[in-house]
Copies of this chain bind each other. A is one copy, B any other.
Amino acid sequence: MTTATHSPDSTPELMLRLGAQAKTAAAQMAQASAAQKNQALRSLARLLRSNVDALAVHNAQDIERAQAAGLAAPMVDRLRLTPQVLETCAQGCEQLAVMPDIIGEIMGMKQQPSGIRVGQMRVPIGVFGMIYESRPNVTIEAASLSIKSGNACILRGGSEALASNQALAALVVQALEEAGLPAHGVQLVPTTDRAAVGALITMPQFVDVIIPRGGKGLIERISAEAKVPVIKHLDGNCHTYVDDPCDLDMAVTVTDNAKTQKYSPCNASESLLVARGVAADFLPRIGAVFAAKGVEMRVCPASKALLASVPGATLADATEDDWSAEYLAPIISIKVVDGLEAAIAHINRYSSGHTEAILTRDHLHAQRFLREVDSSSVMVNASTRFADGFEYGLGAEIGISTDKFHARGPVGIEGLTSLKYVVLGEGQVRR
């Protein structure tokens, strides 16, 4: 029996080697044909389905270790690679495979007064580094987006999911090789040494952008220490504003969905603003819905007065901190505002810039809200829960950017690309 041995690299040496390999692979990935990339994605889908049992064995190691370490049950659940989770991953790969290839697309080609024609070609960014926590299916999401976008990537998953991630990464390598693509196109960091993260975010010679997915603390630390650009996904303090005039049946349905369809996602509404003119009609109705679902309401004095008589309502006085809070829980802050201007001002002051919705019948109010609210997604008459790469038709999502620089909002393939200028001439010179 042979025992697999690790290379004797120290972690910094290991990361430099991964970086150099990624950079070499990136040049090949950038030149890959659409057919090759799509073949790799379809192979990956097939391998995920045909290895459900083998993956379960590796996954069980992670789960046993997590349970032995006393990880909370919801955290253990996030580790599970169930057949359903794997089928979703496989379908995601197949969906990407049928999407058009945007790499090499040339747009906006226009002739200039000098006679040269100038346009822009969409090209991969190069190498991205992804740092994420427990859920191992993120390995497949990141790998498939990397393949489709013609980038190379270095993936650093959570240490508690290492066995699962290594098993998944081996399938990715097999899929790449079946399609004639470089095995180093997608690399998983094979160590749980925390120094790997520090190295990954400080190799500008090899890594073009870092995408962290995880808690706010992780992302702030990475942003502070990175020597390359970071696509940041900070908190989602999303607002739903019920305007005057508004269809109140619709407003109840949409506000309910925005808060309660799921409590943990970043695009769930954490704060409800209600125009004074509709508050007396609207608040008791939505309050009854929240009361029935056990949603605690952190209320301003005006909303308190209107909600006090709702049977079973859990009310608390909102503090200044509530207006900025991302609860990710059955809690919502509620405030009565004078109208559109006050709502926009409140949002632009307290929001994290993720997603905000106005529910209104007034066209001018809708237009002003879209234009003036400074968030990555602005919505009219829709649930904030729609802020998502799949719902937006991006095919997949590598994260949601709350930055304004480069990519903003759900980041799909396009966010992993860059535009270079293409100039076509017939011997023109500058005068």
A residues with CB within 8 A of B:
27, 30-31, 104, 110, 112, 114, 116, 118, 121, 123, 125-126, 208-209, 229, 247, 250, 253-254, 256-258, 261, 348, 357, 359, 370-372, 374-383, 385-387, 391-393, 404-406, 408-410, 418-430
Contact = CB atoms under 8 A, between A and B. Distances in A.
B391 A425 contact: no
For chain A, what secondary structure do more than half of its interface residues adopt (helix, strand, loop), or is it mixed?
A: mixed
Query: Which of A27, A375, A379 counts the most chain B CB atoms within 10 A?
Result: A379
Given A258-B429, A381-B426, A383-B428, 14 more contacts: A30-B372, A116-B379, A123-B374, A209-B405, A247-B427, A379-B422, A379-B423, A381-B427, A381-B428, A382-B427, A383-B425, A383-B430, A385-B429, A410-B421
A116 B391 contact: yes
Contacts of A383: 425, 428-430
B418 A405 contact: yes
Contacts of A406: 229, 405-406
B121 A420 contact: no
A392 B110 CA distance: 9
A371 B31 contact: yes
Nearest to A114: B391
Nearest to A118: B392
Contacts of A426: 250, 381
Contacts of A250: 426-427
Contacts of A257: 429-430
A24 to B, nearest CB: 11
A421 B247 contact: no
A208 B427 contact: no
A127 to B, nearest CB: 10
Contact of A427 (B253, B348, B385): B253
Contacts of A381: 424-428
A380 B430 contact: no
A365 to B, nearest CB: 13
The 9 residue pairs across chains A and B that have the minimum distance between CB atoms: A382-B425, A257-B429, A385-B430, A250-B427, A379-B423, A406-B406, A377-B421, A404-B418, A409-B421
A406 B401 CA distance: 13
B380 A425 contact: yes
B409 A261 contact: no
B377 A423 contact: yes
Residue from the set A348, A357, A375, A430 with the largest chain B CB neighbour count within 10 Å: A430
